[in-house]
Amino acid sequence: MGVVYLQILGFSQWFMAIEISTQGAFNGLGKTSIPSAVGIIFNALRIPAASLLSTYTALKLNGIWWSISISSVFKGTILVVLFYCLVIKKYKTYGIIST
């Protein structure tokens, strides 16, 4: 069971790293509420997702681990998109960042 648990969580490790890096970038800019809100929302969604995946699918206990991995993928992806839309795009508009 431990091997399966690590394989499932290994799926989302890259997204966890992206999430932590983007959260640090937001924090460095003083925009701490954005990563906090994303984290709270998707961490709270882990509970019903784990319940659904472990009860109504063949995953059973592994549904809990999949809910953690899936929420990490969403958090990492959403934070990168928000960082681009709210920070990078804004700074490009004002000519602070050039490409």
Domain membership of residue 99 (yes or no) is: no
- Residue predicted with more confidence, 70 or 91: 70
Is 88 part of any domain? yes
Query: What is the mean pLDDT of the segment spanning 2-18?
Result: 94
Count of C-beta atoms within a 10 Å radius of residue 19: 25
pTM of the full predicted structure? 0.87
Query: How many domains does the chain fold into?
Result: 1
Any domain includes 41: yes
Q: Which range has the worst mean pLDDT, 2-11, 37-46, 71-80?
A: 2-11
Residue 96 confidence (pLDDT) above 90:
no
Please name the residue ranges forming H helices in the chain: 2-10, 13-28, 33-55, 62-83, 89-93
The answer to whether the beta carbons of residues 49 and 71 sit under 8 Å apart is yes
Q: Given pLDDT bands bounded at 50, 70 and 90, which one contains residue 95?
A: confident
**Which structural domain range is residue 79 located in?**
2-93
